[in-house]
Structure 1
Amino acid sequence: MPVYKDEKTKKYYFSVRYKDTFGKSKRKVKRGFSKKKDAKLAESEFIQQVKHGYSDNKTFEEVFYDYLKHTDLRDRTLRRKKYDYKNHIKKHFGDIPVGKITQSQCLEFRTYLVENCKSINTARTIWTTFKAVITYAMTYYKLSHNPCLGVKAIPRVKTKIAFVNKEQFHEKVEKLDNENYKDMLIFMFYTGTRIGEAMGMLWSDIDLNKREVSISKTWDITARKMSEYPKTSSSVALLPMPKILVELLQRKYEESKLKIKDFNDEMFVFGGYRPPDYAHFSRVVKALFPNITSHGLRHSYASYLADKGCDIYVLRDLLRHSSITETVDTYTHFYTSKKHEAMKFFDD
């Protein structure tokens, strides 16, 4: 196929007609080559690429972005994977053809992650993404071997759970001057909701008569917009509310009707037209509870119920975990009173 010269720019370009994966006729034009031979070389590479389709000669970076394009990932997960690729994976594998990656390179990369990431769980997350791309290449890019085979997985390390008890919580939260923040903290403590779920709560999600709150979406803190789904599919649920929270929300609803112009049930429970500023809210929580994050209120909710002997399967449903294993692994050590009760069997 001939290469052309653009008389206006004095640059070379190529124009190729080809058939795509679905057999449809397409045309590829690429401009901006300073030399004719560079345009011809680029044209030749493109023809080979079309001819052979997906190939293990593609760079890891090309496979990585194709993996993102064809994998159903939520916006937050997509941003995290791109961040991890840019900051950790790219410098090791970005320009290497996926078929040229060796087991020794994978082993060296695993060591790098363990030694350089801020936590072992972060290292494990990045390693999992890397292996997922390799698996994708084996499925779609004719990669015949898995260079990760034989390289040990990075183990998950159980982090220490930080929480406050009910008495400590109320003692601290009463010191807050910001009533909206106070109400939001109480809501999180008595529902076990995540920060994004609480920020994205609308009045239409609250049923004060049934004493239930509907969890079906979350506020995307980074993008500052509503995501029409919570963290996971298992997070969608109706949660019961205790009397103390129902009374708080009834008061807040009546106050909001008086204070907010054009008030309606599609407004945010904690903020009205918009939810609170996440950064400012987090600083307030840190000052109030220096030993926990806002997520620690979720742990506080769970630990309180566990300590009171709440059935582990009910606790799983209230926390909206995808499996009972997650609940058991995280919270069974809080069932101290139940363990002591078990000792009574020996006294009978």
Structure 2
Amino acid sequence: MPSYKSERRNTWYCSFYFTDWQGKRKKKKKEGFRTKKEAQEWERKFLEEYAETPDIPFDTLVKAYLADSKRRIKATTYKTRRILVNHHILPFFKEMCINNINKRNINEWKASLVQKELTPAYIKEIYWHLKSIFNFAIENYNLLRNPCGKLTRTNKTEKKIQYWTIDEFRTFAAYNRLPQYIVLFYLLFWTGMRIGEATALTWDDIDLETGTISITKTYIKLYGEKIITPPKTYTSNRQIVIPYFIIHMLQDYKRISKYSGSHLFEASRSSIRRKFERDTVKANVKKIRIHDLRHSHASMLINAGFTPIEVADRLGHSSAAITLRVYSHFYTHRRAEIADRIAQII
């Protein structure tokens, strides 16, 4: 393991050949060591740990990672992942070799995310994807270790969920005149289904005799094309029992010839959102998102005394734990109720 002295700089350097991770013979030179021993130690460590690690650029790794993801996950999930990686990860690491990326680089990148004023939850999600990219390199490109450590905890700011009470919804609904929007907004508020699940509904999904709606698919628009896909999760496949007034509303709606096609609603997601926002302003009610109608339904169920398991079943959550995590603050009012019941027992 020879090392050499640089007379001009009065330092030591090592120069040697090695076989890289692809089996190619390459030459390596490293300068600037104070002693011969330091140069020899660096060469030894390089041959033991780094000679067989990949020196591919990060953007090449990302292309392979996204191509693999596209084969394994839903088109909508892939689109979200691709946008996230291309916007928040790739620009920083693009030209770096993956075996040179270290903890200092990771910390600098995390600092750049904070400067973008992204939420802690979103930063955590982005960081998870970066770790996944390096895990992919470990499995497929012989990378020795993942340079990502644990994400440093940031001060959490609880995101307040917006929702309407029944009175607020009724005030809003009074400003609707078109049948398809009346029925759509009533379904969203009184069933808690997602907007994609509602717009994917056909009359075959609705049994007006038993008063049930089968959720088996969801509607999305991907790259300008309308696509029907399976629901968000496996447990999103469910049957929703609807109240009698929704049954009557659907019966009347079906009799209207203009809306008797296969799908219940033909309006686009953007036109539905614009209609919702316009009527919210007209009704002078609290401004919420259309997805918050689902939160409104959850709030109504919880206030009515339904358990997390029952709420999870109706909303299509995979477990009651998710319901409790999302709507935990809706249950805080039950603490006083518990105390009152204890007092009654005594």
TM-score range, shorter chain: 0.7 to 0.9
How far, CA to CA, are the matches of 1:55 and 1:202 in structure 2? 54
Match of 2:265 in 1: 270
Equivalences for 1:221-232 in 2 at 5 Å? 221-223=221-223, 224-232=225-233
Match of 1:191 in 2: 191
Q: Secondary structure at the match of 1:221?
A: strand
Match of 1:101 in 2: 101
Q: Which moved more, 1:85-94 or 1:64-73?
A: 64-73
Match of 1:213 in 2: 213
Equivalences for 1:111-126 in 2 at 5 Å? 111-126=111-126
Query: Is 2:336 the partner of 1:340?
Result: yes
TM superposition shift of 1:219: 0.8
Match of 1:312 in 2: 308
Any runs of at least 4 consecutive aligned residues in structure 1 with deviations exceeding 4 A, and if so which?
A: 48-52, 153-157
Q: Secondary structure at the match of 2:89?
A: helix
Q: Which moved more, 1:113-122 or 1:214-223?
A: 113-122
How far, CA to CA, are the matches of 2:214 and 2:169 in structure 1? 24
How far, CA to CA, are the matches of 2:290 and 2:221 in structure 1? 13
How far, CA to CA, are the matches of 1:117 and 1:237 in structure 2? 38
Deviations 1:71-107 (A, max 9, x none): 3221122112221222221221122221111111111
Conservation of the 8 A alpha-carbon contact between 1:236 and 1:320: yes
Work out which of the residue numbers 56, 62, 65 in structure 1 matches 2:63.
65
TM-score normalised by L of structure 2: 0.77
How far, CA to CA, are the matches of 1:306 and 1:269 in structure 2? 29
How far, CA to CA, are the matches of 2:279 and 2:216 in structure 1? 29
Conservation of the 8 A alpha-carbon contact between 1:174 and 1:182: no
How far, CA to CA, are the matches of 1:178 and 1:89 in structure 2? 45
TM superposition shift of 1:158: 3.7
How far, CA to CA, are the matches of 1:137 and 1:49 in structure 2? 12
How far, CA to CA, are the matches of 1:186 and 1:302 in structure 2? 14
Q: 1:156 to 1:65 in 2, by over 3 A?
A: farther
Give me the identity figure in percent. Answer: 25
Question: Cα RMSD (Å) of the superposition?
Answer: 2.3
Equivalences for 1:15-164 in 2 at 5 Å? 56-71=54-69, 72-152=72-152, 158-164=158-164
Q: 1:343 to 1:151 in 2, by over 3 A?
A: closer
Query: Is 2:295 the partner of 1:299?
Result: yes
Deviations 1:5-48 (A, max 9, x none): xxxxxxxxxxxxxxxxxxxxxxxxxxxxxxxxxxxxxxxxxxx9
Match of 1:286 in 2: 277
TM superposition shift of 1:160: 0.7
Instruction: Decide which structure has the larger Cα Rg and report it.
Output: 2
State the one-letter code of the partner of 1:293.
R
Match of 1:165 in 2: 165
Q: Which moved more, 1:189-198 or 1:81-90?
A: 81-90
How far, CA to CA, are the matches of 2:151 and 2:302 in structure 1? 38
Deviations 1:260-315 (A, max 9, x none): 5xx55xx11122xxxx1211211221233352101100000000000000111111
Query: Is 2:320 the partner of 1:329?
Result: no
Q: 1:117 to 1:61 in 2, by over 3 A?
A: farther
State the one-letter code of the partner of 2:239.
L
Deviations 1:108-157 (A, max 9, x none): 11121122054333322222211111111112211112211255266875
State the one-letter code of the partner of 1:246.
I
TM-score normalised by L of structure 1: 0.77
Deviations 1:167-210 (A, max 9, x none): 11011111122221121000111111111111111111111112
- The aligned length equals 290
What residue ranges of structure 1 are gaps of 5+ in the alignment? 1-47
How far, CA to CA, are the matches of 1:235 and 1:157 in structure 2? 28
